[in-house]
Chain A
Amino acid sequence: MTRKQRRLILIGGGLSVLAIAVALMLNAFRDSIVFFNSPSDVVEKHVEPGTRIRLGGLVKDGSLVRGNNLSVRFAVTDGKTEIPVTYSGVLPDLFRERQGVVAEGALDGGGVFNADTILAKHDETYMPKEVADALKKSGHWKDDYAQRAAMPIGGGGSK
C-alpha cells in the first residue's frame, strides 16, 4: 500500500467519523435543548403550554404550600411577574423562600408550571451588614461584596 493510499484511508476514516459526529450532534440539538426563561419572559414570549423550559427567579415570600405526599406549590417571581409552580418530590437543600431557584418542566393549559426538576443555587455566600461596614472602613470593600450583601438571604442571626 502506498503512502498516498494510506493517507487517503486515514483522511476518509477521519472525515466519516466527523460526519457521523456532526449528524449525531445536529440530531441531539434538535431534541434536547431547553430554553431558560424568567417569569416575565414566559408572559412576553407567550411560551406554549407543553414546551419544556427552565423557569428561573426567586421563590416568592410566603408562597410555599406543602400538600400531601410530597407535593408542593410555590410561586417564582422576578419582581414584575410571578408564575405558580407545582412540584412533587423532595426539594433541594438550598431551596428557600426569597432564594433563587430554577425549575425545569412545562406550563399546563391553565398557566401553572409543572416542574419535574428543581435546581437551587449551590452557592450561598453572604456577608453580615456589620462586617460589610467594617470592610468599607478598612478599605477592603469590593463591589462584589455589595452583590453578596444584597442577596436576600442570611443576614446573620437568623437560625
Chain B
Amino acid sequence: MIPELGHYALMLALGLALIQGIMPVVGTRTNDPVLMSIAAPAALAQFAFVATAFTALAVSYVTSDFSVLNVYENSNTQMPLIYRLTSIWGNHEGSMMLWVSILTFFGALVAGFGANLPMVLKANALAVQAWIAAAFEFFILMTSNPFVRIANAPFEGQDLNPILQDPGLAFHPPMLYLGYVGFSIAFSFAIAALLEGRIDAAWARWVRPWVLGAWMCLTLGIAGGSYWAYYELGWGGFWFWDPVENASLMPWLAGTALLHSAVVMEKRGALKVWTILLAILTFSLSLIGTFLVRSGVLTSVHAFAVDPRRGIFILGILVVFIGGALSLYAWRAPLLKQGGLFAPISREGALVFNNLFLTTACATVLIGTLYPLALEALTGAKISVGPPFFNLTFGPLFIPLMAVMPFGPLMGWKRGDLLGAAQRLLAAAMLAALATAAAFALEHGGPVLAPIGVGVAVFVMAGAVTDIVERTLILRVPFRAALRRALGLPRSAWGTAFAHFGMGVTLMGIVGVTAWGSERIAEVKPGASLDISHYRVTFDGTFNRAGSNYRDVVGRFTVHRLNGEMIGNMQPSRRAFPDRNMATTEAALMSRGVSQLYISIGDPNKDGSVPVRLYFKPYVLMIWLGAGIMFCGGGLSLSDRRLRVGAPRPAKPRAALQPAE
C-alpha cells in the first residue's frame, strides 16, 4: 500500500509540475497576475507530493519491504538502520528520487522565501524549475520506477554493495546533489531573465545566495567523496581524475566562476551577459554530470545498472535543456544592456582573470572527460585519459590562478593599484619565499616543482590573512580599534578571506601528499616490522571479528617511533560480506598532526603472513580541512547582511506587471 501511495504521489507531482511549468508563463505573456501567482503554491504542493513519494520509499526501506524490487535488490534486514536509509540513494532509482526531491525542495524554497522577488521573474523562474522537475519525474516514472513490486516477496534482500556501506555515503550523495541541483536555481533565474529580456544588478543579488549555498554543498560533497575514496578503496588516493569525479569537479569550477562574476554584476552592473551564460553552463555541467554518472556510459562505482533506454532518455533531457537554453541565450542575450566600464587592472579585472582561468580549466577537464567517449563513438577505439593528462593541463592553468588570487581582494573596484597591492603583499610573498626555501632544505626527494607549490600555497594563505590585516589595520591602530573594525567588516569580506585561505590549505595538502608521500608494499609475517618515514610499524597477528552483516579478519599493528617510543595500535581489516559474496578493505588510519599513517591489508596467507600496504601521507588532512574552511567561508558570506536583508524593493513596483518586451 505504501509504495503505491508513493507511486501515485509522484504521478500527481508530475501533473503539478506541468501546471507550474505552463500556467505562470502564460500569465507573464498575457499579463495575468492570477495565472502568475499559481507558480508559488504549485511549487510548494509539488514538493509536498515528491516528499511524500520519497518518504514512502524510505518507509519501504526502513521496514525492509522486500516486495518492492528496489528494496529487495539493495537492502537487507541484517544491515544497520543507517545503511538501510542510505541504501535509498545507493542505487539508480533511489538516487534519482533524491535528485528530484532536492530539486523540488529548492523550488519550494524559492516559492516560500521569494516574497520580495518581482512577480514576473518569480513566475518565470518557478516555471523553468518546473520544466526540469517534470522532465526528471517523467524519467523516473517511465524508466526508473523505484516502486515496482515483486509478486512473491523474497524472504531476504540482496544487501547493498559493500563498498557503499559506509558512513561517508550517508552524507556524500545528498551533499553533492544539493550542490548539483542547487545550481538549477541560477539556471532558472537566468532563463527567466532571458524570457523577460530584462536584467539588472538586483538579479545578481537574488541569485547569489543560491549559488553560494549550492557551491558550499558541492565543495563539501566533493571533499566527502574524496575522503571516502581515500579510506575505503584501500590504496590511499584522494583524487583519481575518474570521469565521475570530473563530473562533480566541472560544476564546481563553473560555479566558482559564477560566484565571482555575480559579485561583479551585483556591485558594478558589469559582466551581465557573461554571468547569465555562466549560470546556464554551470547547471548544464551538473546535467552532464548526472548523464555521465547515471546513463551507464561509464563503468564505475556509481554506474549502477546499465539500461540503454535510460541513457537515451537522459541524453534527450540534456539536449533539450542545454540546447534550448543556449539557443534562447543566443537569441535574447543581445537585448540585454551592457554593463559599466572598468580598467583591466581593477577588482573587476581580477575577477575576469579568475573567470577566464576557471572556465578554461573547466573546459580542459570537460574535453579530457568526453574525448574518450567521443572517440569510442566515432572510431570504436577505446582509450583512457588518465591523471597524466589532467596534471599536464589542469595544473599549469590552476597554479597561475592561485598565484594571482591574493591580489584580487586587495584591488579597488573600477581602477586598481597593482603596485600598492604588491607592496601590501610583500610580507606574504616573503613568507612564501621562505616556505619554498624551507621546503627545498627540509624535505628530500620529490618533484622539483613541489617547493614552488608549497610557496604558492603559503602565498595564498598569507594573502588571505593580509587582506584581513589590511582591512582591520590591526598592525597600525590600537588593538581595540582594530577589533571594532574587524567586527564592523562585512561578513562577505571574512567569507572571501576564509574561502581563499581554505583553498591555500587544500593546495598545501595536495602538494605535500603528492610530493612527499611514501609507501611500502610487502608481505609480512607476525612479529615482522616495516619502517616508513619516522615510524616503525610491527605486525602482531590477526584475529576474527563478526559484525552485523559481515565478518572481519583484523590485522593488529603496533606503531613506534624510530627511537622506540610506542605511539599506538592500528587495526586494518578485510571485511567479507557473505550476502554479496564480496570483500572490502577497511584501512586503518592514524593521524599525526595533519599527516596520516595508512595501513590496508589483503587476504592472509596460509603461513599467517599478510600482504600489507603501508603509506605515510604527509599533510593529507589539509586537503579536506581546506574544503571545510572554504565551506565556512561560504557560510560567512551567506550570512552577510546584504544577502540576509535581500535586495531592496524598488520604490514603485514599476514595470513589474508589464509585458516582457
Contact = CB atoms under 8 A, between A and B. Distances in A.
Interface of A: 1, 3, 6, 9-10, 13-14, 17-18, 20-21, 24-25, 27-29, 31-37, 54, 66, 69-70, 89-94, 104, 121-125, 127, 131, 134-135, 137-140, 142, 144, 147-148, 153-154, 158-159
A134 B150 contact: yes
B304 A125 contact: yes
B396 A144 contact: no
Given A32-B386, A35-B381, A135-B150, 11 more contacts: A1-B343, A13-B352, A21-B363, A33-B383, A34-B383, A37-B382, A54-B382, A70-B523, A89-B521, A90-B611, A138-B150
B580 interface: yes
Nearest to A34: B384
Contact of A154 (B342, B367, B581): B581
A25 B397 CA distance: 11
Q: Which secondary structure characterizes the binding site on chain A?
A: mixed
Interface in B323-364: 341-344, 352-353, 356-357, 360-361, 363-364
16 contacts: A3-B341, A13-B352, A13-B353, A24-B364, A25-B389, A28-B390, A29-B385, A32-B386, A32-B392, A33-B385, A70-B522, A122-B299, A123-B301, A125-B73, A138-B150, A138-B151
Contacts of B548: none
B163 interface: yes
B343 A6 contact: yes
A34 B154 CA distance: 45
A91 B382 contact: no
Contacts of B158: 127
Q: Which secondary structure characterizes the binding site on chain B?
A: mixed
B305 A90 contact: no
B481 interface: no
Interface in B367-384: 367-368, 371, 381-384
A142 B300 CA distance: 22
Contact of A144 (B307, B523, B585, B600): B307
A158 B361 CA distance: 48
A70 B360 contact: no
B578 interface: yes
Nearest to B601: A90
A35 B299 CA distance: 16
A131 B301 CA distance: 24
Contacts of B356: 13-14, 17
Contacts of A92: 234
Nearest to A138: B151
A144 B305 contact: yes
B151 A137 contact: yes
B341 A122 contact: no
A79 B575 CA distance: 32
A93 B304 contact: no
B119 interface: no
Contacts of B383: 33-36
A54 B382 CA distance: 9
A158 B582 CA distance: 11
A28 B148 CA distance: 47
Nearest to A128: B158
B583 interface: yes
B563 interface: no
A1 B344 CA distance: 10
Most buried by B among A66, A90, A91: A90
Most buried by B among A24, A31, A135: A24
A90 B364 contact: no
Contacts of B392: 24, 27-28, 31-32
Contacts of B303: 123
B578 A159 contact: yes
Given A21-B360, A21-B363, A93-B585, A140 B150 contact: yes
A14 to B, nearest CB: 6
B657 to A, nearest CB: 35
B582 A93 contact: yes
Contact of B384 (A21, A54, A123, A131): A54
Interface string B598-614: 00101001000001110
Nearest to A36: B382
A84 B300 CA distance: 25
B551 to A, nearest CB: 10
Given A21-B360, A24-B393, A28-B389, A124 B580 contact: yes
Contacts of B600: 90
A31 B521 contact: no
Contacts of B149: 140
A70 B384 contact: no
A134 B152 contact: yes
Contacts of B589: none
Contact of B161 (A28, A37, A123): A123
B584 interface: yes
Contact of B396 (A24, A104, A122, A139): A24
Contacts of A34: 383-384, 386
Contacts of B580: 124, 154
A124 B582 contact: yes
A31 B387 CA distance: 11
A101 to B, nearest CB: 12
A137 B371 CA distance: 43
Nearest to A14: B356
Contact of A158 (B305, B381, B393, B581): B581
Contacts of A124: 161, 580-582
Contact of A21 (B163, B306, B364): B364
B649 to A, nearest CB: 32
Contacts of B389: 25, 28-29, 32-33
